Chains A and B, each alone.
Chain A
Amino acid sequence: MRSRLEDFDVACPTNLSAALALLASGAARPGGVTPLAGATDLYVPFNAGHVAPTTFVSLHAVAEFKAPARWDGDIYTMGPLTTYADCRRDPRVARDLPLLVAAARELGALQIQNRGTWAGNVANASPAADGVPVLLAYDATLELTSPRGRRTLALADYFTGYKTSVRAGDELITAIAVPMPRPAAGAPPVRAFFRKVGTRRLQAISKVVAAGVLERDAAGIVTRARFALGSVAPVTVRARAVEAALTGRPLDARAAEAAASAVATDMAPIDDMRSTRDYRARIAAGLARAFAAADMA
């Protein structure tokens, strides 16, 4: 059954301070306030009548949010309304942050990519958020803004549990900053890995999704490994055990096996409508092994 429209209020603030004032008013409103960006996630349960009455605060008309994503040196900063399509259209993102494009092009279909936002994917905090593992692999940071001020934090510190986060009710994600990795002098190119395993390549939420960035020194020794997984735990996770297993050694067959074994301690997969615990565990091990073994397919 569809939601009854009359149970919902909608505010369309035209500037940031008005948007923040509306969010701060949430505590006094029955049903609170719910920020609405591209609506591609929120309108699915809304259409099915599964969203409790609330006041939507649509962000689309906020003047400050109309600025396009920007590059400052080696850092790419997205706003609250930056879409997957926006990323795919930026040639520098394709060159310097290829994982963002790899994830964007397999997220939903073009109709979703034209509307869905990276910030919304983070905000909803789904363990199956297919846009989040690549941001984790790049060590993205978030800027949260409220009438009380601004704070920045690592994306890896944002999620607290299944669809929960440290974001307070009066805070908005106002920026996602993504630094591009740079190889050390004489070192091999930075390895970028992305693999989504689902029932089909597009328009399917993952059974398991993995993203990784791997840096080596001139001798081929791994100096830094970052590996992130989705759909295998209550939150999207940095696979710290896989990262530790690969760091400080050359990428050989033993390293790949160490990564595949280590991943078990990084996840807690479950049976659900999209896959099973056992399948996810096997696939995640295979993805950790593939991350150690090869560049992005």
Chain B
Amino acid sequence: MKLILKINGASRAIEAHPAKRLLDVLREECGLTGTKEGCGEGECGACTVLLDGRPVMSCLVPACQAQEATITTIEGLAARDGALHPMQAAFAHEGGAQCGICTPGMILAAVAWTRDLATADSVGEALAGNLCRCTGYTKIFAAVAAARGQGDGGGA
């Protein structure tokens, strides 16, 4: 089917099977390989993207259900001149990344939460769907807190 997606601010027309995972549409049809596949079953959050502003597991989104949606991937956060988004800068500064596989999903989930703090009571809840197999949570939480202009992330 023909899909019209608005990805990172640009409208794209894509031909894809309607049952194809949004994750695969982004990586294979759009060349946006910043979105990672971890478990492929909605447990790990590595494939998190923002669908109409809200974090979702892109491995569990059929392409047809993203028709005409607005999608933000990790490639869409930095400014056009390459300046990092404040959340990206905070992750880099605080060392909130080790192997890096979880990082795009972590950053997108964190960005969504800081835009709408009512969605979760703590950074721990906001990032509960994002697993870091390097277990670098302390620095990840510190990065989110820094991006929010706070000293302490507060776990949960």
- Using a CB–CB distance below 8 Å, which chain A residues touch chain B? 5-6, 8, 10, 12, 36, 39-40, 43-44, 46-48, 56, 58, 60-61, 85, 88-89, 105, 108-112, 114-115, 201-203
A43 pairs with B60, CB closer than 8 A: yes
B19 pairs with A5, CB closer than 8 A: yes
Q: List 28 A-B contacts (CB under 8 A).
A: A10-B1, A10-B62, A12-B64, A39-B61, A40-B42, A40-B60, A43-B21, A43-B59, A43-B61, A44-B42, A46-B19, A47-B40, A85-B119, A88-B119, A105-B125, A109-B45, A110-B55, A110-B112, A110-B119, A110-B125, A110-B126, A111-B55, A112-B60, A112-B129, A114-B51, A114-B55, A115-B61, A201-B128
Interface centre among A46, A61, A109 (most CB of B within 10 A): A109
The answer, among A12, A39, A201, for a CB contact under 8 Å with B60, is: A39
Bound-complex Cα distance A105 to B61 (A) = 20
B61 pairs with A110, CB closer than 8 A: no
B18 at the interface (CB under 8 A from A): yes
Q: Please name all residues of chain B whose beta carbon is closer than 8 Å to the beta carbon of A88 when the two chains form the complex.
A: 119
A109 pairs with B129, CB closer than 8 A: yes
B125 pairs with A44, CB closer than 8 A: no
Bound-complex Cα distance A89 to B120 (A) = 11
The answer, among A10, A43, A202, for a CB contact under 8 Å with B64, is: A10
Bound-complex Cα distance A205 to B112 (A) = 24
A58 pairs with B59, CB closer than 8 A: no
A10 pairs with B42, CB closer than 8 A: no
Q: Nearest residue in A to B55 (C-beta to C-beta)?
A: A111
How near does chain A come to B26, taking the closest CB pair, in angstroms?
A: 15
- A-B CB proximity, top 4 nearest: A109-B129, A10-B18, A202-B128, A5-B17
The answer, among B17, B41, B62, for a CB contact under 8 Å with A58, is: B62
B contact residues, total (Cβ < 8 Å): 35
B67 pairs with A61, CB closer than 8 A: yes
Given contacts A10-B17, A114-B51, 16 further A-B contacts (CB under 8 A): A10-B1, A10-B64, A39-B61, A44-B41, A47-B40, A47-B60, A58-B18, A58-B64, A110-B109, A110-B120, A110-B126, A110-B128, A111-B48, A111-B129, A112-B129, A202-B128
Q: Please name all residues of chain B whose beta carbon is closer than 8 Å to the beta carbon of A47 when the two chains form the complex.
A: 21, 40-41, 59-60
Q: Please name all residues of chain A whose beta carbon is closer than 8 Å to the beta carbon of B43 when the two chains form the complex.
A: 203
Decide if the interface of chain B is mainly helix, strand, loop or mixed: mixed
Q: Please name all residues of chain A whose beta carbon is closer than 8 Å to the beta carbon of B62 when the two chains form the complex.
A: 10, 36, 39, 43, 56, 58
- Using a CB–CB distance below 8 Å, which chain B residues touch chain A? 1, 17-21, 40-43, 45, 48, 51, 54-57, 59-62, 64-65, 67, 109, 112-113, 118-120, 125-126, 128-130
B60 pairs with A6, CB closer than 8 A: no
Q: Nearest residue in B to A43 (C-beta to C-beta)?
A: B60
Given the known interface contacts A5-B17, A6-B17, A114-B54, the answer about A108 and B42 at a Cβ–Cβ threshold of 8 Å is yes
Bound-complex Cα distance A43 to B20 (A) = 10
Bound-complex Cα distance A61 to B56 (A) = 18
Bound-complex Cα distance A6 to B16 (A) = 11
Bound-complex Cα distance A89 to B21 (A) = 27
How near does chain B come to A101, taking the closest CB pair, in angstroms?
A: 12
A202 pairs with B59, CB closer than 8 A: no
B129 pairs with A40, CB closer than 8 A: no
How near does chain A come to B113, taking the closest CB pair, in angstroms?
A: 8
How near does chain B come to A82, taking the closest CB pair, in angstroms?
A: 15
A115 pairs with B129, CB closer than 8 A: no
